[in-house]
Amino acid sequence: MRRVGIFGWGLVAPRSPNVDAFAANLASNGSWLGPFNGFGPDNFLVGVPDFRFEDYREWIASRFPPARFHQLVEKMDLPVLYAIGSFIQALGQNPGLEEELRALGTAAHIYMGTGIGCIQTVSNCTRSLDRAQRRWDRFWAQRNPAFQERGEAPEGAPPDPVTIEDPEDRYEAESAWWHYWAASCPELQQYLRELAEIEGLNVQGDIERGKVSVLKEKQRRLRALHEKWRTPTPPWQSVSPNLVWNIWNTPAAQISMMGHITGLAFAPVAACSTFGVCLKLGMDAIRRGEAKAVVIGATDPPPLALSVGAFYSARVISADAAVSKPLTGLRGTHVAGGAVLWILGDLDYMREKGFKPLGMEPVAVGVSSDADHIITPSIHGPTMAMRNAFAESGIRPEDLATWDLHATATPGDFREVETLRGMVPESVVVTARKGTFGHGMSAGGGWELTAQYLGFERGRLYPTPLHPKELNREIAGIHDLYVFDEPCPTSKGVAGKLSMGIGGINACVISRPW
């Protein structure tokens, strides 16, 4: 079976614009979380990525036309920019890696996933559309003679918003009210007929010249139509095309363009297990001989009011203005954003090319589904993933030196430790790092693996914010050997890591030192 190595890595995380900063920060036992204040003053702590896309301007300017950097800034949401930055970082660990990925053609793949995607762009477009639709409906409703001369509301008409006392109900009622009267406006029907005639212009003759001619003529006529009717911006023109440019596969697609990588590029999405799933897909592609190198990773938006609010309503994040550490009071996790990216390669092939592997050797990834609950982890699902990983790797649980938990500082921590001890011995040193940098929906598992790999590369397990006296008594009764707020030397053996995603998607990674 082909062996796989990591030949480049990059990331964006709280207080960590790159891998070097990430490693330096890991040496401290403090938390990297800070106040959110996305709702105005609030009690949430979050992990805000430390990121400046400007840091990558020179790299981009040396390879692309001058306008490319500005196009990326104007069109791309932050998760895409995080992914691009992480990719550029990853190319720097092994000179010549960029050229090799390009030369491999379709034998270089990209599997770049995401958790909740580019929701800031979705939010912005949704607000723009709502405002434009309300202006539009009001404009045409007021030009409707039936509205101007109305007496008693017709049967089927929505209630007049002036009759509704509750301001929140009135807001929705106003939308329905104006939409109803706009729909029956004769002038709107005439406007739409004129618009359809303009939009119906066809390309004639030579297609390349003809399409430009048609576009110009359409724009000329549309401007004249607007001048004639003096309409506000139609709602269909109010939605930015950035909504299309920032769909789920965009981070992978942009990496393919930045690196001129012509192999398969797509976005695996497996919630909190995304990075582990991407790792498995990449290793499988290399072992099947479909790829010599695979760029894998995950990227998440910064903490936003939408994501913090949703996770709070799902009762999984802390809201008491204090750091909620895994394995302690189980008050919930903290939303974080950023990205992580690895460049995997066929070990023998890449070594022959002169490239040096990093960190540890990923040996196997076991995956499974709970098939049970949307958010509460089971015991049987993670256990299956762990068994699959051990079976594929040929490594015994007794060979483990350390294990990294998913541990979200929720009651699920107890079940996860219970599940772990059902398979591994009491000698295993356990880590839980979401109290350090929070929970990146898809990137968090990659940060945790990178921390594990960096530690083994340097001969130590980095400390966590957890103090021995804070360890939950019930959890301590199952297992009490953890990395606390002091670093530990790595002992001989292999490393394991479990991720458990929303929807019950599990990924277990077994790795060994070089």
pLDDT in tens, 119-155: 999 999 999 999 999 999 999 999 999 998 887 777 8
Pick the more confident residue, 164 or 482. 482
The 10s digit of each residue's pLDDT in 325-334 is 999 999 999 9
> Which DSSP string corresponds to 402-470?
EEE----SSTHHHHHHHHHHTTS-TT-EEE--HHHH-EETTTHHHHHHHHHHHHHHHTEEPP-S--GGG
Please give the torsion angle defined by the CA atoms of residues 83, 89, 94 and 97, in that order, rounded to the nearest 10 degrees.
40
b/e burial code for range 178-198 (CB count within 10 A of at least 16 → b): bbbbbebbeebeebeeebeee
Q: Which residues contact 241 (CB under 8 A, 6 or more apart)?
A: none
pLDDT for 37: 96
Residues 317, 332 contacting (CB under 8 angstroms): yes
With helix as H, strand as E and coil as C, how does 224-257 read? HHHHHHCCCCCHHHCCCCHHHHCCCCHHHHHHHH
Q: State how far the Cα of 379 lies from the Cα of 415, in Å rounded to an integer.
A: 7
Number of neighbouring beta carbons within 10 Å of residue 129: 16
Out of 3.40.47.10, 3.40.50.1820, 3.20.20.80, 2.30.38.10, the CATH code matching 4-118+246-513 is: 3.40.47.10
pLDDT for 283: 98
Query: In terms of C-beta density within 10 A (0-12 exposed, 13-18 middle, 19 or more buried), how is residue 28 classed?
Result: middle
Query: In terms of C-beta density within 10 A (0-12 exposed, 13-18 middle, 19 or more buried), how is residue 313 classed?
Result: exposed
Number of neighbouring beta carbons within 10 Å of residue 376: 13
pLDDT for 45: 98
Residues 300, 339 contacting (CB under 8 angstroms): yes
Q: State how far the Cα of 25 lies from the Cα of 19, in Å rounded to an integer.
A: 10
Q: What's the whole-number average pLDDT of the chain?
A: 96
The 10s digit of each residue's pLDDT in 500-514 is 999 999 999 999 999
DSSP 223: H
Beta bridge partners of 511: 362, 495
pLDDT class of 203 with cuts at 50, 70, 90? confident
pLDDT for 154: 79
pLDDT class of 156 with cuts at 50, 70, 90? confident
Evaluate if pTM is beyond 0.85.
yes
pLDDT for 217: 92
Residue for token pair 């490319």: 68
pLDDT for 157: 87
Residues 50, 65 contacting (CB under 8 angstroms): no
Tokens of 433: 């790092």
238 closest CA partner among 122, 132, 124: 132
- Beta strands at 335-336 and 265-266: parallel, antiparallel or unpaired: unpaired
Q: State how far the Cα of 482 lies from the Cα of 86, in Å rounded to an integer.
A: 30
Res. 309: pLDDT tops 80: yes
Residues 510, 495 contacting (CB under 8 angstroms): yes
The 10s digit of each residue's pLDDT in 447-484 is 999 999 999 999 999 999 999 999 999 999 999 999 99
Percentage of the chain exceeding pLDDT 90? 91
Tokens of 289: 């001989």
pLDDT for 29: 96
108 closest CA partner among 219, 315, 258: 258
Q: State how far the Cα of 368 lies from the Cα of 387, in Å rounded to an integer.
A: 10
Cα 224 from chain centroid (whole Å) = 43
Cα 208 from chain centroid (whole Å) = 38
pLDDT for 423: 95
Res. 303: pLDDT tops 80: yes
Q: Where in the chain is the domain with CATH 3.40.47.10?
A: 4-118+246-513
The 10s digit of each residue's pLDDT in 377-412 is 999 999 999 999 999 999 999 999 999 999 999 999
pLDDT for 148: 86
The 10s digit of each residue's pLDDT in 311-362 is 999 999 999 999 999 999 999 999 999 999 999 999 999 999 999 999 999 9
Helices (H), ranges, 200-332:
207-229, 242-245, 250-259, 274-287, 305-313
Residues 307, 335 contacting (CB under 8 angstroms): yes
Res. 198: pLDDT tops 90: yes
Q: State how far the Cα of 234 lies from the Cα of 295, in Å rounded to an integer.
A: 42
pLDDT for 88: 98
Q: Which residues contact 491 (CB under 8 A, 6 or more apart)?
A: 401, 402, 429
- Beta strands at 439-440 and 460-461: parallel, antiparallel or unpaired: unpaired
pLDDT for 12: 98
Question: What average pLDDT does the segment 189-202 reach?
Answer: 95
- Radius of gyration, CA atoms only, the chain: 27
